[in-house]
Chain A
């Protein structure tokens, strides 16, 4: 079986396979062009009489749970990134699989992190065939060098949820970590010894997987409420000493940047939405947890205080900065898909206006509505952008795959999507003629903010008109690129082979781009 076969040129002009890991896939057909007609996933029908009468599903170990769940060759195993770079659980699963001699598994994490580097040995030995979801750091590097047996399959957070709910990504066994659970399997991420926030990404797994195993370090008396994961969806409960290192949820990126250039970018972005009339009473916006996004939120906060503006809602990555803003009356609600830091977790647990959301609420393209469409503005980062406003967030300019898509593609549905990036990093220009990997089509990106000026997509005549006399440095993207090329010089093209190592899926399930093997 070829990893990827029958390549065609898709609507974005990218050469993509129509067969991936032996399955047929649909090439990208243009934004909002593809409308599937099939019914969604249909999980196996259970019977309660097949489960313990006392509803106690606790088993002795993860190994026992995996054996009882019928772990065998070729299965798809999913996990949730509860502790982000501090997760222990995913590594255990594949160590156990190796011990049991199981092969060719597919790992479908909601996100992978550098802490999952030990899985490389299982990819090498054939325990894991390939990864669907996110490839990050060492795993991305491994895949970029063509060393993974199967083709990597990159999906956004919303795309993963959709794929599971659509039946495109069938999960045989979901292994979901929770900071607290009861013996029935009711579980959440806000109680217990080391809470991490909402379980939002893995609810869909618990609803659609054939078997669901909950792993916790805190077994509490029934009921474990709120039951974000419902006991009725759970087959086994495993109690361990630790499910991960809670310190590693917060990485260096969840603090406001101190770099003067990045602060300038954040300030331009905030002033831009003020000038464009987006920053007003009742607005909804996403306040990301990255360095520039946090600084942007901080500038927005200052303008709000100065002008007495109050937002209706903010979507996190919630941090203590957002919580402070809500407590100071700058927003009515926080919608929270992912929580960073104890202050934010306490607020999520205790404040009814700090609402946990699920990927279905916010990012799922196949939902009947989508919260992100209501967002007045969203600020994102990127590894690269190009003169046609196309954006890349998964590969670096040398073609190596180092980041997951996260919510990046899903956020493109907002009313105003801004990408805030430095115009060059270590003499490598961020603005290209063409992005190395297409992750978001240019028509979805409205504004690019750099330290050298702000470029508005020519499609957004409204934003161009609204900010014309703002005094902000609004420039043509080509003009900014020229200045940056003059500073850095023109970099040599990355050395990439024709061999495909991964594909990027668009939010609707079609294939947007192919990632090629890096040649050293």
Chain B
């Protein structure tokens, strides 16, 4: 049986990651070979980290090779754990870095989700400073951006990242794999203060219920884990409403247009005209269910004008947010979601009228001769919130 395994990445272009290779042996104790870009500064530290981790797992004899390009401790620890567990599948303990205080903040069901930044679950370099760019949410992705051979290693890396990195208030999301691999993801990471789990290729109510039930079974503590099903197929589009209403923890519906267009047998165009029905369905189902509708990603990272127009269009259709694949997209997305001056003036009038009505104890809000319904007030309040966040008003 193979007692040698490796995890991680190493090469001239790799930064902030390492490749750990472990061969479990029967004698001669622990032998560590370290090749590190930061050896002068952290060489001794990395060796001692490696030793304590191996001791934790009860490993007494092993040949360990670490090829490092400046990986942080949580990355090295995850790579060692992954290599070790691949070499010996009977190991079940987890070597958890201390959960930092800055990883413990909470979210709310109706949190603003204008932008959510995708971060490949296998690339620590992109995670480290992800919180600095002001996204409403970050998504640690275990699904499409992770190579099938690296699912295991990425899961441990994401777990450690959730305990270590300060995402600076961005909502903490994870996109799991499709079931049944997705269950394994949940098992490893669900107690790491995850705010939202994204469910890929969601096609039915039952999928959402199964995942929600599984999460509830494993989750410690009171705070709920919210769900965001991703609609990526013709069937998913048809079932959008039942998916959105599958359980209370669903907070938003979103779309994946690459898979959707493949499913309906067309090519995705820049205008996304062919996706009009799917988008309308998702918006309508989400709003009917009282949850947010979030648009897909815009993949041309060089085209900021195109992105702006695309988000404007999404906003006009009723979407509340947009996926981002590059930090520079975040600001553009937020700008595109800002209300127009006209919208802002009207929203102010409505909210003022509402305040007066409330003060005077009137049940009905009216603006001029027009009656204002509660959903309109709510929408106006939302517009003011967006304007405030965008610095349009104080």
Contact = CB atoms under 8 A, between A and B. Distances in A.
Interface of A: 260-261, 263-264, 397-398, 425-428, 451-452, 471, 483, 487-489, 491-492, 494-495
A487 B72 contact: yes
Contacts of B40: 398, 492, 494-495
Given A264-B133, A487-B128, A491-B41, A427 B71 contact: yes
**8 tightest Cβ-Cβ pairs between the two chains A and B:** A426-B70, A491-B41, A260-B327, A427-B70, A398-B40, A261-B129, A492-B41, A451-B132
Contacts of B41: 397-398, 427-428, 491-492
Interface centre among A260, A483, A491 (most CB of B within 10 A): A260
A492 B43 CA distance: 9
B71 to A, nearest CB: 7
A491 B72 contact: no
B38 A426 contact: yes
A293 to B, nearest CB: 18
Contacts of A495: 40
B38 A491 contact: yes
Contacts of A398: 40-41
A494 B43 CA distance: 12
Contacts of A261: 129, 132
Nearest to A453: B132
A427 B42 CA distance: 9
B326 interface: yes
Contacts of A487: 72, 128
A428 B39 CA distance: 11
Contacts of A427: 16, 38, 41-42, 70-72
Contacts of A483: 166
A492 B37 CA distance: 14
A451 B327 CA distance: 13
A490 to B, nearest CB: 9
Nearest to A398: B40
B53 interface: no
23 contacts: A260-B129, A260-B133, A261-B129, A261-B132, A263-B328, A264-B133, A398-B40, A426-B69, A426-B70, A427-B38, A427-B42, A427-B71, A451-B129, A451-B132, A471-B391, A483-B166, A487-B128, A489-B45, A491-B41, A492-B43, A492-B44, A492-B45, A494-B40
A489 B73 contact: yes
B15 interface: yes
A394 B41 CA distance: 18
Contacts of A494: 40
Nearest to B45: A489
Contacts of B70: 425-428
A326 B166 CA distance: 42
A281 to B, nearest CB: 25
Nearest to B132: A451
Given A426-B70, A427-B72, A491 B133 contact: no
Contact of B132 (A397, A428, A452, A489): A452
Interface string B26-54: 00000000000110111111000000000
A264 B129 CA distance: 11
B72 A488 contact: yes
Interface string B148-167: 00000000000000000010
Interface centre among B38, B45, B133, B327 (most CB of A within 10 A): B38
A397 B15 CA distance: 18
A428 B327 contact: no
Contact of A428 (B38, B133, B326, B328): B38
A200 B166 CA distance: 48
Nearest to B41: A491
A489 B129 contact: no
Interface of B: 15-16, 37-38, 40-45, 69-73, 128-129, 132-133, 166, 326-328, 391
Nearest to A260: B327
A276 B322 CA distance: 34
Nearest to A396: B40
A393 B95 CA distance: 40
Interface centre among A451, A471, A492, A494 (most CB of B within 10 A): A492
A427 B71 CA distance: 7
Contacts of A492: 40-45
Given A426-B69, A427-B72, A494-B40, 10 more contacts: A260-B129, A263-B328, A426-B16, A427-B38, A427-B42, A451-B129, A451-B132, A452-B132, A491-B38, A495-B40
A426 B166 CA distance: 18
Contacts of A452: 132
Contacts of B128: 487
A431 to B, nearest CB: 14
A467 B52 CA distance: 47
B42 A491 contact: yes
B234 to A, nearest CB: 35
A260 B326 contact: yes
B327 A489 contact: no
Contacts of A488: 72
Contacts of B327: 260, 264
A492 B71 CA distance: 16
Contacts of A451: 129, 132
A60 B306 CA distance: 61
Nearest to B164: A487
A489 B15 CA distance: 17
Contacts of B328: 260, 263
Nearest to B130: A260
Interface centre among A427, A428, A488, A494 (most CB of B within 10 A): A427
A489 B73 CA distance: 9
A264 B132 CA distance: 9
Contacts of B326: 260
A489 B40 CA distance: 13
Nearest to A400: B40
Contacts of B132: 261, 264, 451-452
B165 to A, nearest CB: 8
Nearest to A473: B132
Contacts of B73: 489
A430 to B, nearest CB: 12
A483 B165 CA distance: 11
Nearest to B72: A427
Contacts of B45: 489, 492
Contacts of B38: 426-428, 491
B328 to A, nearest CB: 6
Interface centre among A398, A426, A487, A491 (most CB of B within 10 A): A426
B37 A426 contact: yes
A488 B71 CA distance: 9
Nearest to B326: A260
A97 B166 CA distance: 59
A144 to B, nearest CB: 13
A264 B37 CA distance: 26
Nearest to B40: A398
B133 A489 contact: no
Contacts of A397: 41
B57 to A, nearest CB: 22
B120 to A, nearest CB: 14
Nearest to B69: A426
A428 B40 CA distance: 10
